[in-house]
Structure 1
Amino acid sequence: MPIEDDEILQGFIEESLEHLADIENDLLAIEDAGADIDDDLVNKVFRAAHSIKGGAGFMGLTVIQELAHATENVLGLIRSRKLVPTPEIINVLLQASDELQQLIENIHDSNEVDISEHLNALNAIYEGGEAAAPPVAASESEPESASEEKPEETAAEEEVETEAVTPESEPEPEPVQAAATVETPPPKSLEPAPTQSTPDPPKKAKKKLAATSHKPDTTIRVNVSLLDQLMNLAGELVLSRNQLLQTITSGDVRNAEAVGQRIDLVTSELQEAIMLTRMQPIGNVFNKFPRVVRDLAKKLGRQIELTIVGKEVELDRTIIEAINDPLTHLIRNSVDHGIEPPEERIKKGKDARGLIVLKAYHEAGQVVIEISDDGKGLDGDMIAQAAINKGLITAEQAKTMSEKEKINLILLPGFSTAKEVTDVSGRGVGMDVVKTNLDKLGGSIEIESEVGKGTTISIKLPLTLAIIPCQIVMTGGERYAIPQVNLEELLRIPAAQVKDRVERVGDAEVVRLRGNLLPLIRLSDVLEIERTYYDPKDGETKLDRRVNIADRRSRKSPLFRDSSESREETVPPDDTDRHERKSIERRQGPASALNIVVVSTGTMKYGVIVDRLHDSEEIVIKPLGRHLQQCRGYAGATIMGDGRIALILDVSNLAQMAGLTSMEGSDRAQELAEAAKEAIIARRDKQALLIFRSSEEEQFGVPLNMVERVEKIKITDIEDVGGRRVMQYRGGSLPLLCIDDVAMVQPIKEQDDLLVIVFHLANKDIGLLAIGPVDAIEVAADIDDVTLKQTGIMGSAIIDGQTTMLVDIFELVQAVHPEWFADLALSEVVEEEEAATILVVEDSNFFRNQVKGYMEEAGYHVIEAEDGVQAFHALEERADEISLVVTDIEMPNMDGFELTEKIRSDPRFANLPVIALTTLAADEDIAKGKAVGFNEYHIKLDKERLMESVHKYARQAVAA
């Protein structure tokens, strides 16, 4: 049969054989699993059949297309768990895959082969769930096995529809009609027929062609001018070598230095030239898309113009091969679901001919590929509804999503909104595979879309996987390389600031970076080597003995200091240790500066603490030896300029080894249901709590932002003076109280070592006695404000499987020291005729009731709203009553930023005071709040500061 483009055909053959390479073992594994279906494995085989079918359709290979389509139908039933893969069914699939391989290996004559027996057998299973007699394949007597493992198939060619979603279930495809004149009737029983009663299949109408082995092309084309350049450089290198040998023999040191510089220059040029041999223009991939767009547009009744820009941009051959399928998928997406039919475009005032632009260009050391169309765009609400219908997210989760987050739902596995299952779309595979394969290449994907205007998908890729730019770091006297594709920024914390900036949350060290907590890991700890530090005075790496004496014993941050020590030290109370540490500090300084490499991988961002930062270098990747391949923290190795080896760090595995978790690292089987859920949970308003105990059985929590510090004390430090518990603290007396002084809880456990949690209320310090363990966590748990609520206890929540009572420190202090609040605005009670009306906007019932209680206790009138939409309706209806708005930030439908912006843009409310009440206290959040018009920014549950502001603005409203 005639094939217009041999290069495209050859690419299809290679990709299809790669898809089929592992299919036999995969089908046998599916058979072994039986009813316990492995979704990942079935999806892999399903995608292979789907990709072969799609490619064959474009090539006009109808027989291959029909067989792959029939195979896909059966795999679709298994994937949807409508069919249990019995041995008889797997046997039919195995025979079909054997036939597919033979057809592809004899591609030019494949359309002349009779495959009716295979189609009849597959259709019988599809129609009735029963395995008919499988045909006897020519290769059955001598099964052919792949001599080496092939790479896993890449992106499946599947599209995403953005039209309105119908509630009906997805229609199933029609069975493929066999070429034979007699069709196999659907079986009447669901039980598979016994193998011993299976009749012999009829002979084929035409003889099969003998299979010929096919190996992917391993050659590349190199420009002759580049070969000439390599030859010239090799000649220069030989001359430089001869000069070097001569200078060594003669002992001419000065000339040897000049020869060394010459060799360095020639070697660098030679390296660049050799790398160019791996680089190929991306046009090798782009050139096939005019045919793809033309054929698909004709099939779908579209008029499309394809514009290609940047064919000359070069990429490593390995990357070009890997992005072929993802790009094919995205182009077909634009044709099938982006560009509207001509009549629809004309109605919208557009040109009947749609435009798709495929563009490649260099940016910041990477290659960017953009696929743009002027079609109907992606409707976030429709995508979210489709995800809800498929059970990928809930309706509640969808309400809290931004437009961009809704659009990104198309990257979830199993997502599709196509109404019909066709050769092109509707099976729910594709975009997730595109993202997965780009992640493997160190690339990324970003989607920008506007309804009615079109969509632009940007892919960012590294230039090469053989030579990559890396940041060189040193720890424990050894050098390591961190790929710049994972590098976010470099951070150095001077020694004098380490105590203030580095904190400990649970078992992890963290640093506050531009208002956000960044988890830290020490490279030496993850690699299980001794901690060291770099001494710039003598340029040596030294063992950090300070860590061995103190930090490895207590591992506590400045938050957990021993009160018997100086406030500037983090030393355990042992006098011997203290003496030795002071001796060490005299020799190596009070503390070492921290060098932090901030890296990212997927959704995880963290800092790696190293001894020293070196320059950025381009390195040549070498595979690890067999004895190191089981080491998870390394992605490879490289040889540095001095001949020593530097290991390349795998930042993703380092995070797992250090115990840092990421949504991307969750089990694939749970990803369908959990990925979107986790993304939404991450956006929920979280409360930072300090968790502690007062007795061994009961756990408590207090808002972390209200805690001044935590002190370790001895029970003997507590004094009883005038009937009150106190302790010496910073040159004065610190009043102490226990939760059981006020609340009906178990009394504090009497033991030698206690904790004092210090708060600052009513312009005074007060300490709450507690016992360990303590932990600082962020939770978004549902809070029960009824069951355990009492004086001093505002409610309870389940945290890490433990019922945790939330302490109301204000009520505790007011109950024990009511005189403290006598002269403060917090205790003001306004008269009825002066009471202002305050609008409280908060989606959490617990926090809304807390704030409402504060204000009603002070005599104010309160109007409640659960989100910004309800709040603005209340403003419009009761504009003359409301004197102040107190609003949360993170809310569904309309958040606090949007609400305040809308209030400020309305002349009726432009001067209305608005107070932000939230847990989002990062610098960028506060700056954004000021920009949209917040008058003040307060932290949740800080009653004292909130009520001071409320009284101030309420008085201003009354005075006005």
Structure 2
Amino acid sequence: MEMNQYMSIFIDEANDHLQSLNENMLRLEQQPEDISIVQIIFRSAHTLKGMSATMGFEDLAALTHEMENVLDLVRNGKLSMNGNIFDTLFKCLDALEAMVQDVINGGTGKGEVTELVERLKAIVKGEDGGKGAAKAANKEQAISASLVLDQYQLSVLSQSMESGHRAYYIDVKVREDCLLKAARAYMVFDVLERNGEVVKAHPSVQEIEQELFERSFSVYYITQVDEAVLRDGISRVSEIESVVLTPVDRDSLAELGRPQASSVSTSDAIKETAAATESAAPAAAPSAENGGGLRAAPAASSAAPAGNAAPRTIRVDIERLDSLMNLFSELLIDRVRLEQLASEVRRNDLTETVEHMARVSADLQNIVLKLRMVPVESVFNRFPRMVRDLAKSLDKKVDLVIIGAETELDRTVIDEIGDPLVHLIRNAVDHGIEPITERIKAGKSEVGTVHLRAYHAGNHVFIEIEEDGKGINRPKVLETAIKRGVVTVEEAKNLSDDEVNMLIFAAGFSTADKVSDISGRGVGLDVVKSKISSLGGHVSVHSKLGSGTRFSIQLPLTLSIIAAMLIKLGSEKYAFPLSSIVETGSVKRSDIRTLHGNRIIDYRQSIIPVVSLAALIDSPDYRDDDETETEMIVIRKGDKLAAVLVDEFIGQNEIVLKPLGKYLNANLGIVSGATILGDGQVALIVDPNALIK
């Protein structure tokens, strides 16, 4: 069978299941007695095992198979979760993610799993040093810990008992030296089917036929035959080690019918995948960093009302979305050109047609942009696990609170924002949150809290990371900055608290007393700042000593189509993104003063610098000394303002951002790209952040 055609499906599904496994393992760590969470984890691991085996990734299948064995003991009440089991399973998830990533990168998906497999086998044998003791096998425990029945199967059992049949839960174990397990299982089923009817088998009958079980299998069974006769008939099959029959009465059936035990469960692989997806709360979105697919609507939660129709979704390759955006960009350029021609020709029928096309293309633009929007949840999902591991390695207690994970961002931004957030959250857990002893001395809770928020504001998305730690130590930051030559002693005296806080983003800056594998090498925050700036955003810091620190990141909603102000310089045209413009106006040249060689103006009771765009780009046919008054644009970057002198305003327009390519980008620092105007001319797009810098 040609597997390449199924590879993208495998990768998407594997990423979904790994995300679900991580989320539910974290939930289980908080609620280790909740068997329903174990059921969800078991189903995800089981489906991932089947997919991996089908695709020929043996190491993936082998590791998930051993994880299944441990989880099976837990869900059947024969093993209690403990710290060692959690740590081992989390390491298994790391190994699985590494192997799937290898597959994504074109590798064979092989990994060094021998040690993990041995650790899992030791846990199954009870050699993990934990509390994995078998529970007493009385009727109630045997029934409640057994395989899950759906409503139809419960109904069959109930009606059969009402009509005089007997119901049993039967657990059959074959001998360890049995060579043909499937054949012995077939003989057992032959005995059962001659005397009654199997309502439910675990593993499924298909899996048992393919020998996809260890040494035991179990069934729910209805019959009119006496218990002793039934046990004797099964025991007569060769190489059967034990047969345990537990009668099912009305009380135990009512127990099975309770909400926690009656969730739909089926051994069919496709339905298992759906059940695992629906049970996860919230459902895992595809991983954007791994080229995951797109969901047109949020996945249904198991808590949704039964009457609601499940949302219909489709996976779309990211390259196709990019192609769609590029084609629409060309359409937008042609629309602007047609509008210009219609205004020149002045024919009513042409004008009406162009206006209708403009309305339709505006709706189309809305849809295309929404298709590219991805919830930040796809990035945020990785952080609970990361914080858990970091806190454990640092011997701290940290809660991560995520707010606004449904906030949507352009897929281009989503792809790039993950790494900066990793640095900021690691910094918050390592530098921000104090050790437990220090927190108790300061009168704080021993559990530190990191808030990760996302929300819309205008044409921007804000992402905030806030912790209730010790805050930024101003004297220590200034001392380090002066020592590293970031600022002079004189400059340091005049810096505000916010300006001091921003010094931590300087390249190579670190206040860590020692270098660890988490932080202290002076890399991270400068990378954060440069990455966010390259996305057209900016980052700010607010801190209060002893109370904590908040990092705030402002990002544009989309990077492909932006609203811009078009201006002229002589015969040339330029575009400024509207999101960076505070206001436009005019200024008398006599009001522009010079201070220490820099031009400034008085703007709304503050002094701001004046930048001549013509001088910066060396405009060939524009001279800014000929007029007594000139136009200006006031631009903002964070809390910094500047006035940019221009020749004249053309007007606002929606423009398509086109990259200039590596060669031109290397030589034009203040230009972020270009656009094609309605008359076919090319206008360069000015980067206001670079102008202020």
TM-score, normalization: structure 1?
Answer: 0.37
More RCO (CA 8 Å, sep 6+):
2
Question: Which is helix-richer, 1 or 2?
Answer: 2
The structure with the largest alpha-carbon Rg is 1
TM-score, normalization: structure 2?
Answer: 0.49
